[in-house]
Amino acid sequence: MEEGGCPMLQSWLNPNTFIALMMVAFMVLMSLYIRERGKNHKS
């Protein structure tokens, strides 16, 4: 089996892709956290 047989898997294992996914997940978590804090602060 050749290593280049599955380019999609290799692109997913790319460090740059991993860093981008981590940044997106971090931004989503932060926005959810801020929204929850704003809700609790209002009431």
DSSP string spanning the chain?
A: --GGG-HHHHHHT-HHHHHHHHHHHHHHHHHHHHHHHHHHHH-
pLDDT band at 1 (very low <50, low <70, confident <90, very high): very low
Tens-digit pLDDT profile for residues 3-37: 556 666 666 667 888 889 999 999 999 999 999 99
38, two tokens:
């704003």
- Tell if the pTM clears 0.85, that is, is over it: no
**Per-residue model confidence (pLDDT) at position 5:** 61
**Per-residue model confidence (pLDDT) at position 18:** 85
Position 41 pLDDT exceeds 90: no
Q: Using CA atoms, how far apart are residues 40 and 37, in angstroms rounded to an integer?
A: 5
Contact 11, 17 (CB under 8 A): yes
Amino acid at 24: V
